[in-house]
Structure 1
Amino acid sequence: MILDRLQGAQAYRAVLTFLVRQWRTRPGLLLGLVAAMVGSTLADVFLPLFAGRLVDALSAADRDAGRLDALVAFAAMGGLGLLTLGLRHVAWTFVVPLSLSTMQAVAQAGFQRVQRLSTDWHANSFAGSTVRKVSRGMWALDGLNNTLLLELLPAFVVLLGTMVLLGVQWPLMGLVIGLGSLVYLGIVVTLATLVIAPAAQLSNVWDSRLGGALSDAIGANAVVKAFGAEAREDARLGRLLAKWNRRTHRTWMRITWSITAQFALLLLLRTAIVGTALWLWWTGDATPGDVAYVLTTYFVVHGYLRDIGDHINRVQRGVNEMEELVALDAEPYGVADRPDATPLTVQGGTIGFDRVTFHYDGHVTPLCRDLSVQIPAGQRVGLVGRSGSGKTTFVKLVQRLYDVTSGHVRIDGQDVAGVTQASLRAHIAIVPQEPVLFHRSLAENIAYGRPGASAEDIARAARLANAHDFIARLPKGYGTLVGERGVKLSGGERQRVALARAFLADAPILILDEATSSLDSESEALIQEAMERLMRGRTAIVIAHRLSTVRSLDRILVFDRGCIVEDGTQADLLGRPEGRYRALFERQTGGMVEA
């Protein structure tokens, strides 16, 4: 329970600090809204006063004087009602742009933050769960704005105003209302923060897990169908839903008991206020109009107090729903631009590793230690070795998807840690082994490497990648939408689109991760020829699993456990009878090595 309390306090502090930070960027809207709400609420506070005067006027012995007093009270009540109506409308005209602008800013900032979080963070997070955190937090902010500024603010103004007005005339009545309200608020806040909050936090965690599980299964539906595993996935989701049901049931039942307790407290407060009013009348300290004033005031206070419990519960739910978004906002980037980072300038594209040591988080030993290697500008280099030997990590360090533990990775003598990541990656074109496409048109996917490219440039790149023919056969051609992650295309077609994207990017450094692995033999020959043209005059790094891919390259680096154990041309490496490369080559060719 102590841990739950600490977490609840931290969540409130973090979320409300985040919310106030958003408000401070829009001071005009906030001040206008607060002024309008305070004005409209004070009009509500004074309304019962004139209701009491109306009763006294109606019961006055002098009917002529009573008529005038009644008309004045009636007019005052009407004027206060119009003032309340007008100022509340003004408040809403302020809250609409305030909420929309903050929601837009928070969603934009959340997306920007997620986009820039590290590769490790994305590898360990469900995309569906992350989307849920951002969207749920955005809408929770709208609810918090309404609850805090349009509901709780006027409620506290009413409580303070009525306590002062009644206390000035009858100190005992002011004391009863003040103490009763404080006790009520204390109990309601305690129930919301210490009873409901821990359960709500846990149910939200399971809500995020549920969203992530749904996204995971639906996104991998092709695999589910391939193994006929629909029933298995149904059962898995059923188990998650059962846990979500139990956690949410506990939260909702705590809310139910809390609401019942609030109504019981309000019943006690009403009894105390009505009893005090009767006592004041009994002792001659209050007229019938005064009693009507007190009762009318109580009905106003009762409505606000009754709703305060609901408002506090809604604030608690809003805090619970926003805390994951706020946690995202506080998540460290992992790999961030230095404050003094400068744009990368590439003249040739020389890549250098200088005594690089790299350690994955959570691993006991570093993957590589004191790795030094130079790749001259324009050289075509193949990276080979068993899975997990460090080939992919090598190119990720070139891209600065990870920061090295020690040492330096340089491009044309510039440490990649000291340049902006956007400029670094703009000079590197990548074709991954498993290309990922956006659910956008083929033209947009190809042009992603060079925004604003002309239709002619896009078609030329597609021809170089041997993709133009299949695109031209599609009903909408380059305007065809490819589906989520390119699901409407075959593996080979996706690969060729990714190649076209790299051709169009025309970067001085090229990284190919077995770029022909998904192509048939006929297409592979055409793509190999096009790749030879593409690599000419550029620094090219080719991660190869099929060694036939690297036979014509200038140089081959053989990796094992993060180290480069062999370095040379294919002829050089095949000439080493006990070499690692020769062993890999013989395994793929059945022991045949050409002289």
Structure 2
Amino acid sequence: MIRKKIDLGGQTFKDVFSFAFTHWMVQRWRVAGIVALALLTALADVMTPLFAGRLVDALAGAGHAKAGALHGALESLAALIGLALGSALLRYLTYAGIIALTLRMMSDIAGDAFHRVQRLSTDWHANSFAGSTVRKITRGMWALDMFNDTLLLGLLPSFVMLVGATILLGMHWPIMGAVVGVGAVLYIGTTIALTVGVVAPAARLGNAWDTRMGGALADAVTCNAVVKAFGAEVREEQRFARVIDKWRHRTRRAWVRGTFNGSLQNVMLALMQAAMLGVGLMLWLNGRAGVGDIAFSLTMFLVLQGYLRDVGMLVRQLQRSVNDMEELAQLTRQPLGIEDKPGAGTLAVERGEIRFEHVTFRYDAHAAPLYADFSARIAPGERVGLIGHSGSGKTTFIKLIQRLYDVSEGKITIDGQNIADVRQASLRAQIAIVQQEPLLFHRSLAENIAYARPGASQADIERAARLANAHDFITALPNGYDTLVGERGVKLSGGERQRVAIARAFLADAPVLIFDEATSSLDSESEALIQQAMDRLMVGRTTLVVAHRLSTVRALDRLLVLDKGCVVEEGSHDALIRLEHGLYRRLFERQALELTKGLDTPPSHSVGPATAAVAEA
């Protein structure tokens, strides 16, 4: 994988330039102004050696005609002062323009990247480190600052300066122009070849390990509770040290190659200086150059030397900024996975009927479909439980309704509307979901509850909390509804987080409700409180309950028992429990047996209706 990226280094440069050019076009007039100002500044620098030479000529050839020489010297001096002041003003205006351009671009890029990351598929997020994603975006943003400065303020003026100097010297002495032109081409060509072919691949590997280091750091910090639980601080430090070691070696190789590149550039500059001085001396000996001409050529070389040295540094900076922006540019090209159709409408739900119509669905990594020609109907206001072994398709059933995945064939409708034809945001606004592991933002409890309806009043928030049996524990906290819950809600217990999530669902007041194993990891007291809240919330709503504890689905209207993507049994709890050799009955009896073991009741050697009766009791 890494080898492939090295081979495609040229493509990487192309992708990053295309990415930057797209954002330049948003402010095309500002970019054009910056380019014009930068070019005028470079032209002022090109003309400076010419007037410096004329000043020396005027003074050297003064003799007894000091009045005429003084006039020529003053003209040259005035031109030099004018060029210096004009150059300073032009540079100030150029920098003011580049500041406005870059800040706007950085803001747009950050906003666009966040917009895209928010909409990337569930699978993408499941396979990506949050810390790595943040690192890609922030590193790419700041690299853009260097990228703009390097191209617009550095390389472009340097190119104009080198071309102008070559033309100006060539007009006086063609041989000098040839020396400068050939030397500049060799210098720039060698610099670019070494940078792209030698330094860039090493820098790309260094960045890959920098991203991995950010991901490893975020992973360990996020799971710090697990680290502490197992006393694994030293183990995690050793693991992180291995990542740092890889990063250090990869980065060192990039820096060593960059240093070699810079040293070679200095050698080439010295050779070019010797060539220019040798040609100038030869011209002077042959009487083809005067004192002012030598001063002109020497001044021009000093200016050229600065620009050429800058070119070497700027090419290295460009390579570094491109490498740093590479992953951000790739992120912006990442397919969303699930996209709204052009002109997608808004879902309008009045009854809440859900239909799976001849649905076929397979995960990308699997050849065989999980669902094949699958059909099911959930009636308006019906409370339906989804039962089955792990991998039977329960969670996928829920994700397909939310359109976290698209079906391969067939369609899913809500009140007769194909969910693939409506905007995802409008679909999910009609669905309230309470997950097995509810996620909370590191914000106040009031903000977390109101996330379902940001404009909700405090009275609405408290009413939802009361319905969810959350109000009492919230008001017992020192800061009440203003309490910050910590990252992902770590300051709250599992039952408290679950009740906050149910309060959020109450406030959403959506016609379709989903409980995804909402009580599977709770103690009996918390489960009872949450079951009460769930019963209240289900009233008048089409409800789907994915259940691990089968005691939570006994009162539902209908149960769908899934196995390998098929409904193998269907009916109420009372009907399914009477089916001989039925899957639901086996699952229920197994849980009842576990319950009797937990109560220290001697287990029966044969699992049958008696065990079910114990559980029913």
Q: After superposition, what is the alpha-carbon deviation per residue over 1:451-470, rounded to whole angstroms, capped at 9, x for unaligned?
A: 11111000111111111111
Aligned to 1:15: 16
Aligned mates of 1:66, 1:2 — CA distance in 2: 67
Picking from 333, 336, 347, the partner of 1:333 is: 336
Aligned to 2:46: 45
Do structure 1's residue 374 and structure 2's residue 346 form an aligned pair? no
SS at match of 1:361: coil
Aligned to 1:65: 68
Aligned mates of 2:537, 2:52 — CA distance in 1: 87
SS at match of 1:541: strand
Aligned mates of 2:5, 2:424 — CA distance in 1: 40
Aligned mates of 1:19, 1:527 — CA distance in 2: 52
Aligned mates of 1:552, 1:346 — CA distance in 2: 25
**How many angstroms does 1:514 deviate by?**
2.2
After TM superposition, list the pairs within 5 Å mapping 1:74-473 onto structure 2.
Answer: 74-473=77-476
Conserved 8 A contact 1:436-1:486: yes
- Pair 249,584 (structure 1): closer, same or farther in 2 beyond 3 Å: same
**How many angstroms does 1:561 deviate by?**
1.5
Q: After superposition, what is the alpha-carbon deviation per residue over 1:269-317, rounded to whole angstroms, capped at 9, x for unaligned?
A: 1111111111111111111111100110010011010011110111111
SS at match of 2:142: helix
163-172 vs 178-187, greater mean Cα deviation: 163-172
Conserved 8 A contact 1:466-1:523: no
Q: After superposition, what is the alpha-carbon deviation per residue over 1:85-121, rounded to whole angstroms, capped at 9, x for unaligned?
A: 0010000111111000000001110111111111111
Is there any run of 5+ residues in structure 1 with no aligned partner, and where? Answer: none
SS at match of 1:410: strand
Conserved 8 A contact 1:432-1:514: yes
**How many angstroms does 1:64 deviate by?**
2.5
Q: After superposition, what is the alpha-carbon deviation per residue over 1:509-565, rounded to whole angstroms, capped at 9, x for unaligned?
A: 000012233444334333322322211111000010000100000001111112111
Corresponding letter in the other structure for 1:248:
T
Aligned mates of 1:151, 1:491 — CA distance in 2: 57
**How many angstroms does 1:63 deviate by?**
2.4
Aligned mates of 1:183, 1:530 — CA distance in 2: 77
* Percent of residue pairs bearing the same amino acid type: 57
- Pair 5,203 (structure 1): closer, same or farther in 2 beyond 3 Å: closer
- Pair 583,6 (structure 1): closer, same or farther in 2 beyond 3 Å: same
Aligned mates of 2:359, 2:461 — CA distance in 1: 39
Q: After superposition, what is the alpha-carbon deviation per residue over 1:6-40, rounded to whole angstroms, capped at 9, x for unaligned?
A: 41110111100111111111022112211111111
Is there any run of 5+ residues in structure 2 with no aligned partner, and where? Answer: 594-606
- Pair 2,45 (structure 1): closer, same or farther in 2 beyond 3 Å: farther
**How many angstroms does 1:245 deviate by?**
1.2
- Pair 452,374 (structure 1): closer, same or farther in 2 beyond 3 Å: same
Picking from 471, 493, 498, the partner of 1:495 is: 498
Corresponding letter in the other structure for 1:24:
M
- Pair 58,2 (structure 1): closer, same or farther in 2 beyond 3 Å: farther
Conserved 8 A contact 2:495-2:527: no
SS at match of 2:529: helix
Q: After superposition, what is the alpha-carbon deviation per residue over 1:372-406, rounded to whole angstroms, capped at 9, x for unaligned?
A: 11001100001111112111000000000001111
**How many angstroms does 1:2 deviate by?**
9.5
58-67 vs 288-297, greater mean Cα deviation: 58-67
Aligned to 2:32: 31
Aligned to 1:551: 554
Corresponding letter in the other structure for 1:593:
A
Task: Give the root-mean-square deviation of aligned CA atoms.
Answer: 1.3
Aligned mates of 2:569, 2:343 — CA distance in 1: 38
Q: Which runs of 4+ in 1 moved over 4 A?
A: 1-6
Corresponding letter in the other structure for 2:92:
H
Corresponding letter in the other structure for 2:272:
L
SS at match of 1:363: coil
TM-score calculated relative to the size of structure 2 = 0.95
Corresponding letter in the other structure for 1:188:
T
Conserved 8 A contact 2:498-2:530: no
SS at match of 2:404: coil
**How many angstroms does 1:477 deviate by?**
1.3
Aligned mates of 2:481, 2:159 — CA distance in 1: 61
Aligned mates of 1:484, 1:523 — CA distance in 2: 22
